[in-house]
A and B are shown apart, each in its own frame.
Chain A
Amino acid sequence: MDIPYTFQERRDTGLTNGKIGIWLFLASEVMLFGALFASYILIRTGSPSWPRGDTVLDVYLATFNTIVLITSSVTMVMAWASLMRRKFGTFRLYMGATILLGAVFLVVKYFEYSHHFAIGEGPSHSNFLAVYYTLTGLHMLHVFGGMVVNAYFWGPGSKLYQTNPVWFTNRVEHSGLFWHFVDLVWIFLFPTLYLL
């Protein structure tokens, strides 16, 4: 027994199951980060004073990370486009680049965090830092999760391309949607935490 519409679009909706599934999941993620942003707003507006981001955090490192993540979004969508062109080798190149850039992002964050911890600026130090660590920490978990899924599709999961290239392309597209979302969250996180 096979489930219909796993890689063939249903006529009246024009969608595959996976496409709907990933967007529903992303909708729930919007609410997850929304709650954190709402908390940030409430705590900051209720606070007698709040440091400007660049007085506590390293803007240049974060700008570099922003560029890294945006670039990884491009390599991700290029990975999918390569599959659409049925160029498996190019797909692997772009997907590999995406994973690598994700790793670079995490390494930079590691340096950021360890610098702060070294000077005693942990999450309990101030509400600004509490918000910073929680928001970027949760975001980092998502970066890591996305990397794991991407690595699966780069590696063992790519076997599916041999038997069902359409389905494989779709699954990479869905993984890409998640990755773009992670980039999207960072696009808002970066100015909010570092620049304001």
Chain B
Amino acid sequence: MSSDHGATSDHADHAGHDPADIDRHVKVYITVFVALMILTVVTVAISRFHLSVPIAVTVALFVAIVKGSLVAGYFMHLVSEKKLILAVLALTVAFFFVLLALPVLTHSDGFWIPEVVVEQPHTGAEHK
């Protein structure tokens, strides 16, 4: 059976990744690094204002999503990744949100027995 082996040629292994391309990518990485540092400082600085929980959560989440997108998009090369990978990730993210949202929605819609303060129980009683 003939097997498919890759060429071991040293240059141009990944489509379009010749030396000039790498230099461009490196510039992007440095830019993203600076952006991430700034955003880190921003997120900590904002937290000093002790905003109300809903607003604090929204802002913190927003900044985190921006930071995360930069890491995912540029460090993990998702901006130029193949459709197949992006499709799998989109599916995963959808289920991620299902997992995040549905339990808490179910809980808020439910009838829950309020927590009762426990009196001293009868000692020595065996529960069947």
Q: Report yes or no: B89 in contact with A23, Cβ–Cβ below 8 A.
A: yes
- Indicate if the CB atoms of B68 and A187 lie closer than 8 Å: yes
- Selected from B40, B64, B82, B99, the residue in CB contact (under 8 A) with A70 is B40
Which residues on A sit within 8 Å (CB–CB) of B104? 38, 41-42, 45
Q: Indicate whether A180 sits within 8 Å of B26 (C-beta atoms), given known contacts A38-B99, A188-B64.
A: no
B67 touches A78 (CB 8 A): no
The answer to whether A166 and B8 touch across the interface, beta carbons within 8 angstroms, is yes
Given contacts A70-B33, A196-B57, contact A37 B6 (CB under 8 A): no
Given contacts A15-B84, A23-B85, A71-B33, contact A86 B100 (CB under 8 A): no
Q: Is A164 an interface residue, CB under 8 A from the partner?
A: yes
A134 contacts chain B at the CB level, 8 A cutoff: no
Beta-carbon contact of B22 and A81 below 8 Å? yes
* B44 A37 Cβ-Cβ under 8 A: no
**B125 interfacial by beta-carbon distance below 8 Å:** no
Contact check, B63 vs A164: say whether CB atoms are below 8 A apart.
no
Distance in Å from the Cβ of A97 to the closest Cβ of chain B? 13
Q: Which residues of B contact A (CB under 8 A)?
A: 1, 3-8, 10, 13-15, 17, 19, 22, 25-26, 29-30, 32-33, 36-37, 40, 43-44, 47, 50, 53, 56-57, 60-61, 63-64, 67-68, 71-72, 75-76, 82, 84-85, 88-89, 91-93, 95-96, 99-100, 103-104, 107-108
The chain A residues found within 8 Å of chain B, CB to CB, are: 1-10, 13-15, 19-20, 23-24, 27, 30-31, 34-35, 37-38, 41-42, 45-46, 52, 54, 59, 63, 66-67, 70-71, 73-74, 76-78, 81, 84-86, 164-167, 169, 176-177, 180-181, 183-184, 187-188, 190-192, 195-196
- 26 A-B residue pairs with Cβ-Cβ distance under 8 Å, sorted by A, are A4-B4, A9-B6, A15-B84, A20-B85, A27-B89, A27-B91, A30-B93, A31-B96, A35-B99, A38-B100, A38-B103, A41-B103, A45-B104, A45-B107, A78-B26, A81-B22, A81-B25, A81-B29, A85-B19, A166-B6, A187-B68, A187-B71, A191-B61, A192-B60, A196-B57, A196-B60
